[in-house]
Chain A
Amino acid sequence: MVYLHDGSFEGVLSGIYKMFHAKAKINEGKLYEASVYQQSFFELTLNVETVREHAYRVAKSLYDSFGQEGFKCVYYAYLAEDDSYGTLLFRTLKQAYKLGGQAFEALGVEDIRRLTQMANKVSRESHLLLGLLRFSKLENGIYYAPFEPTQNIISILAPHFEERLADQVWVIHDTKRGIGAFYDKEQYHMAPLDSLETIQYAQDEVAFQSMWKDYVKHIAIEARRNLPLRRQHMPKKYWQFLTEMK
């Protein structure tokens, strides 16, 4: 049986709830996002309705059974937006509940290993972007940071900047996925956000941008020049949003 969810995290967890209730077998149960699943004549499908109550019960069970680390692993792997995630999560949980509280450390189990690798990838990109995200000050005083991460990490970045840039109004904008995180000096919330058509910088913005570019150029030691090493740390796909690389 193939279970289909709506793509949201709550949808995934509702799917897991349904599958455990239906006592799906580890090698038979599959879980996909409805919009990416390729219909096949040989498989029965079931569209799972997203039920907040069901999702909540699964989340609580994950928390209670595997702690914060376990839950984080499940959530981060979701953000990798990998098509195989749903089924992998189901297979992982089938085995993890048998192994007990530390199950996410059992990397000898292939499914658990693959899920943690997925989560680690997300964790790595979000740590990198904590540093590489660039804000520009707009005319109206808002600090605006557009970016296009490979994985859907805006929900990991926002809390970091809520704490750090606590006394300024800012917007983080995933222009690829059309999501924005808005912070008003009190708290942040996330909402859909289309691409902005024109951007008016604040008066002193250009000056600070060019001073930063200058600084980055001058801090390099000429005799140690090593561009491949720089590219290795800071992949080219992020350059279009980096002030100093423009």
Chain B
Amino acid sequence: MEVYEKLRILADAAKYDVSCASSGHQRGNANKQLGSTAAAGICHSWSEDGRCISLLKILYTNHCIYNCAYCVNRSSNDVKRAAFTPEEVVSLTINFYRRNYIEGLFLSSGIIKSPNHTMQRLIEVVKQLRTREGFNGYIHLKGIPGADEGLINEAGLYVDRMSYNLELPTTKGLRLLAPEKERKQIIMPMQQVRDQMIAYRDMKKHLPSAPSFIPAGQSTQMIVGATDETDYHIIKIAEAMYNRLALKRVYYSAFVPGSTHPAVVERGRPPLNREHRIYQADWLLRFYGFKADEILTPDQPQLDLLVDPKCQWALNHMAYFPMEVNRVPYAALLRIPGIGVISARRIVNARRFSALSYDDLKGMGVVLKRAKYFITCKGKYCGDGDVEPVYLRQKLLEPPRPEQISLFQTHPEVFDESEAIIRGLLT
């Protein structure tokens, strides 16, 4: 089979892995070799679904001995199969990189023969790239659950990031859709990676020449909407991942239907809007100092699809508002809808020189459309009219874009709810 054909098949097979980050590690290029990495990460293109392309994301092979119901590469699925050779992956990576198509390689694989055998093939590729080719670009390697500890420790010395996908948020879901995998098998290597990262970091403190171990940290992915977990459930798990496993990122992937498995919830189209809201909640966890239990509760376990999670929180806590932007501390600024990490930092820096007015905020990146209902500037309130949460929510609604309308039709409960509010306003 020609490389062309393999690339098509193995890109198709890899695309449901949503991680695309090339961030988290800055590496210079000391001896005029090929490649560097940028701490902020760089996007190189965007595909027709609007997702960024940063890394060459491919499977080593899509042959797989497992038969997980959610996965396009399950052994019972009737798709064309292919396998790269290490040389082919190396040549594609290097040649794409030299043309600035990509930031590096994201290599994953179906399981051939055994987890150890598969992991060894992957290590062979990244080792060739790093040692033979002197390649300094970004490498993200998917860990193979069930592979030996020694193999993980070896791989970690060559790659920037490693990830094990949780896929189904709960043990129940995993048992249902991927009976051959055990949750323990996924969590254990993540713990091991975390411990090794800490060990190497400690070693580096005393011995600067010590090698780095997965310097950009590890990430994972959960599928949203294949089984019946609530949003509360999902962000609680994400929070535990960040706190206990020191993960850099949790990715969420709206389930793309196509499976005929009886346990899979059929929804027609992937729940993209829900995925979007979960990402926003994830940002609140990582950068805004929110706890999962503040964002949602067992009684209110779903995110509002029509306003963002921070607005949802604010509407439930109107007693904190309005806040005076010239006075409240940074952590409180972060709680104001429409103010992000960058604008909060700008506000804190700028107000040391002079008190800020409403017009000053305009050029500082604050989304006043939302923020104006929750702030005062030099004591002046700039929102218009009523701040009753039910009316305010109405003002904060984000009108669905035309291309998303069909999506909303798959969530009739949303329409009913907003319709009820509109009717409430009329009577």
| Min CB–CB distance A152 → chain B (angstroms) | 20
Complex interface: chain B residues within 8 A of A212 (CB)? 96, 99, 101
In chain A, residues 205-224, which have Cβ atoms closer than 8 Å to a Cβ of chain B?
208, 210-212, 214-224
- In the complex, the answer to whether A107 meets B363 with C-beta atoms within 8 Å is yes
Range for the number of chain A residues in contact with chain B = 35 or more
Complex interface: chain B residues within 8 A of A133 (CB)? 100
- In the complex, the answer to whether B350 meets A105 with C-beta atoms within 8 Å is yes
B15 contacts which of A102, A134, A218, A230 (Cβ < 8 Å)?
A: A218
Complex interface: chain A residues within 8 A of B7 (CB)? 211, 214-215, 218
Residue A27, interface by CB 8 Å: no
Residue A185, interface by CB 8 Å: yes
Chain A, Cβ-Cβ closest to B255:
A223
Given contacts A212-B96, A230-B50, contact A113 B353 (CB under 8 A): no
| Min CB–CB distance B347 → chain A (angstroms) | 8
Complex interface: chain A residues within 8 A of B320 (CB)? none
Distance, CA A165 to CA B95, complexed state (A)? 12
| Min CB–CB distance B9 → chain A (angstroms) | 8
| Min CB–CB distance A102 → chain B (angstroms) | 7
B99 contacts which of A128, A143, A224, A227 (Cβ < 8 Å)?
A: A143
Given contacts A167-B33, A220-B49, A244-B45, contact A135 B354 (CB under 8 A): no
Range for the number of chain B residues in contact with chain A = 35 or more
Distance, CA A237 to CA B97, complexed state (A)? 23
Complex interface: chain B residues within 8 A of A218 (CB)? 7-8, 11-12, 15
Complex interface: chain B residues within 8 A of A165 (CB)? 34, 98, 100
Residue A226, interface by CB 8 Å: yes
Residue A166, interface by CB 8 Å: yes
| Min CB–CB distance B406 → chain A (angstroms) | 11
Distance, CA A13 to CA B125, complexed state (A)? 52
Residue B32, interface by CB 8 Å: yes
- In the complex, the answer to whether A113 meets B363 with C-beta atoms within 8 Å is yes
Chain A, Cβ-Cβ closest to B28:
A163
Chain A, Cβ-Cβ closest to B31:
A166
Distance, CA A106 to CA B349, complexed state (A)? 7
Chain B, Cβ-Cβ closest to A100:
B353
Residue B57, interface by CB 8 Å: yes
Residue B334, interface by CB 8 Å: no
Complex interface: chain B residues within 8 A of A211 (CB)? 3-4, 7, 92
Contact with A along B41-55 (1 / 0, CB 8 A): 011111111111110
Given contacts A211-B92, A216-B53, contact A108 B28 (CB under 8 A): no
- In the complex, the answer to whether A229 meets B50 with C-beta atoms within 8 Å is yes
Complex interface: chain B residues within 8 A of A221 (CB)? 15-16, 49, 51, 256, 270
Given contacts A163-B29, A163-B36, A165-B34, contact A145 B49 (CB under 8 A): no
Chain A, Cβ-Cβ closest to B357:
A108
- In the complex, the answer to whether A164 meets B11 with C-beta atoms within 8 Å is no
Complex interface: chain A residues within 8 A of B92 (CB)? 211
| Min CB–CB distance B326 → chain A (angstroms) | 10
Residue B390, interface by CB 8 Å: no
Chain B, Cβ-Cβ closest to A204:
B95
B355 contacts which of A105, A108, A132, A223 (Cβ < 8 Å)?
A: A108
- In the complex, the answer to whether B49 meets A143 with C-beta atoms within 8 Å is no
Complex interface: chain A residues within 8 A of B257 (CB)? 223
| Min CB–CB distance A163 → chain B (angstroms) | 5
| Min CB–CB distance B365 → chain A (angstroms) | 9
- Name the 5 nearest CB pairs between A and B, nearest first: A229-B50, A106-B353, A220-B47, A105-B349, A224-B49
Q: Chain A residues in contact with chain B, CB under 8 A?
A: 99, 102-103, 105-110, 113-114, 117, 127-128, 130-137, 143, 145, 161, 163-168, 185, 204, 208, 210-212, 214-230, 232-234, 242-244
Q: Chain B residues in contact with chain A, CB under 8 A?
A: 3-4, 7-8, 11-12, 14-16, 28-29, 32-36, 38, 40, 42-54, 56-57, 92, 95-96, 98-101, 103, 254, 256-257, 269-270, 272, 346, 349-357, 360, 363-364, 401, 403
Q: Can you identify 8 A-B contacts, CB atoms within 8 angstroms? A: A108-B356, A108-B360, A212-B101, A221-B15, A224-B49, A225-B49, A228-B401, A230-B49
